[in-house]
Amino acid sequence: MRSDTIKKGLERTPHRALLKGTGMPQSALEKPFIGVATSFTDLIPGHVGMRDLERFIEKGVHSGGGYSLFFGIPGVCDGIAMGHKGMHYSLPTRELIADMVESVAEAHRLDGLVLLTNCDKITPGMLMAAARLDIPCIVVTAGPMMSGRGEAGRKYSFVTDTFEAMARYKAGVIDAKELAVCEDNACPGMGSCQGLFTANTMAILTETLGMSLPRCGTALAVSALKRRIAFASGEKIVELVTNNVTPRQIMTRAAFENAIRVDLALGGSSNTVLHLLAIAREAGVELPLETFDLLAKETPQLSSMNPAGEFFMEDLDAAGGVAGVLKQLGDKVKESQTVMGLSTLQLAASVENVDEQVIRPLTDPVKKEGGIAVLFGNLAPKGAVVKQSGVSAPMMQFEGTARCFDAEEQAMAAIMEGRIVSGDVVVIRYEGPKGGPGMREMLAPTAAIMGMGLGDSVALITDGRFSGGTRGPCIGHISPEAAEGGPIALVADGDRILLDIPNRKLELLVDEATLATRRAGWSAPEPKIKTGWLARYAKVVTSAYTGAVTTAD
């Protein structure tokens, strides 16, 4: 066992003394050391229930014949960090989380890991660490939140009934009393936000990749099923250690293609593009950005999930969950192994019934193409990403007038003050991985545009990124970013911009001579943050089209 390095032999007498100082009995020295990386925190609804799941993981590890050792991993709630300085830190924490898990596992020579996670950047950070370490690992995602309930069976959800409700109140559509009702009902308890936002999309993709047990991606945070999955994951990790089943055996090219197809079929968060690219890089799997678009053109959208659609995570779980989606995708799914020991095809075959109102068959899709599209053009030579599942038919092709802002706050103020009008293209730049730094999510301005009733007449483009809760014609991840001198830095107020999602184009309708003159006069702005670790992050982070990973190159 790896852990023999710290517990076997005369020269490890001091090491054993320290281990026994934790209360470890002599008998535990003969068992696999299973690290449990837990991101429990009182700060995030998706994580407050983890103390309960920790108990069941611990029971499972010890029942399986291992010895569990817990250590903490930080988490940031994107919803709470939204719209202020805090959001600069969200995406960068993904790299910190991967580094922390690696550091603890290597320093203490752990034999295997259970990764207890849930929200937006924590789950991909954990998966990056698993791929990098390539020691036996299993992921337990803590589960989605139940939808809020109101009168006459109305369901409430976080984004629709907070960010968008705020804009509806500003526009006079709802009053202060109704806004307060939304606030009180949007988040009824523990769990990750109810729709197919980034946290739940990543939980689903983790299961699809084969790194968590069946139903883990959709089982509700409050359910007894989630407890049983936690226990079974604790038992399973000891088996994985015994058989030396490692993440790189699971997370193959076929597994990533399956994950992308499930993402496309459900219309998931555009953030998954960044995360899957980063995880694949750690796993040694070549996964170009173009792969998402190639698969999108041949993978229909099979479900209408909140926030752009009608169904919540509780509906998807009851309808058949991840295995149900795999079953409906049929021969588009590739054979890939899972930590369960069954292949993806076996898991799909194990599903007897799928609720086809929630997960439609290939012959009757919600849309002919998958939920994510990758755009190119003179505004995005290295690509841009749009969640086309959330774009209405009239806005799939749109030409508008540029309104430029060099920070999210400037754009948000213009939207809320009524200075953005029908026919505008809101351009938010210097919010990319380097320029932000940290590539802030733009949920507030996108939700404000929808809430102000402009979703079918205003587009938004940015070198930043969007929440999984975003809907509407919002194009992010524009590469190269403004801080690197990308074309988005050269856009001027009044320019015409063409958005053509069916033909995958994003064009600035300005002649090359004019752009050359602007380029000659452009210079990189002063960094927005000059101190702390974000200043270091900005120097080593790569572009969005590579997954916004950090590199020593």
Same domain? For 216 and 82 the reply is yes
Same domain? For 323 and 377 the reply is no
Asked whether the predicted pLDDT for residue 386 surpasses 90, the reply is yes
CB atoms closer than 10 angstroms to residue 133: 21
Q: Is 219 left (phi over 0), alpha (psi -120 to 50) or beta?
A: beta
Band of residue 406 on the pLDDT scale cut at 50, 70, 90? very high
Same domain? For 334 and 214 the reply is yes
Q: What is the mean pLDDT of the chain?
A: 95
Same domain? For 309 and 380 the reply is no
Same domain? For 137 and 247 the reply is yes
Same domain? For 494 and 413 the reply is yes
242-268 confidence digits (pLDDT tens): 999 999 999 999 999 999 999 999 999
Residue 365: inside a domain: no
Give the mean model confidence (pLDDT) for residues 221-236.
Answer: 97
Band of residue 167 on the pLDDT scale cut at 50, 70, 90? confident
Amino acid at 240: L
Percentage of the residues of the chain whose pLDDT score is greater than 70: 100
Residue-level pLDDT at 153: 80
Beta bridge partners of 421: none
273-304 confidence digits (pLDDT tens): 999 999 999 999 999 999 999 999 999 999 99
3-state secondary structure of 496: strand
328-344 confidence digits (pLDDT tens): 999 999 999 999 999 99
Residue-level pLDDT at 164: 84
pTM (two decimals):
0.95
Residue 1: inside a domain: no
Same domain? For 341 and 401 the reply is no
Residue-level pLDDT at 139: 98
CATH number at residue 219: 3.40.50.2300
8 A C-beta contact, residue 299 and residue 461: no
Residue 460: inside a domain: yes
500-534 confidence digits (pLDDT tens): 999 999 999 999 999 999 999 999 999 999 999 99
Same domain? For 537 and 499 the reply is yes
Average the pLDDT over each of 161-170, 245-254, 384-393 and give the range with the smallest value: 161-170
Kindly tell me the burial class for residue 249, based on how many C-beta atoms sit within 10 Å of its own C-beta (0-12, 13-18, 19 or more). Answer: middle
Between residues 444 and 61, the one the model is more confident about = 61
Percentage of the residues of the chain whose pLDDT score is greater than 90: 88
Between residues 229 and 148, the one the model is more confident about = 229
Give the mean model confidence (pLDDT) for residues 387-412.
Answer: 94
Give the mean model confidence (pLDDT) for residues 35-44.
Answer: 97
179-203 confidence digits (pLDDT tens): 999 999 999 999 999 999 999 999 9
Residue 274: inside a domain: yes
Quote the DSSP letter at residue 163.
I
- Domain termination site, one of 316, 349, 382: 349
Residue 362: inside a domain: no
3-state secondary structure of 282: helix
Residue 171: inside a domain: no
Distance CA 257, CA 262 (A): 9
Residue 170: inside a domain: no
Counted domains in the chain: 2
Residue-level pLDDT at 553: 58
CATH number at residue 399: 3.50.30.80
Which residue out of 233, 303, 467, 479 is catalytically annotated? 467
Same domain? For 466 and 317 the reply is no
Residue 154: inside a domain: no
Domain enclosing residue 41, as ranges: 31-146+189-349
Asked whether the predicted pLDDT for residue 538 surpasses 80, the reply is yes
Q: Is 467 a catalytic residue?
A: yes
Same domain? For 336 and 304 the reply is yes
Same domain? For 413 and 494 the reply is yes
8 A C-beta contact, residue 263 and residue 201: yes
Between residues 366 and 451, the one the model is more confident about = 366
Same domain? For 263 and 386 the reply is no
Any idea which residue has 């509780």 for tokens?
314
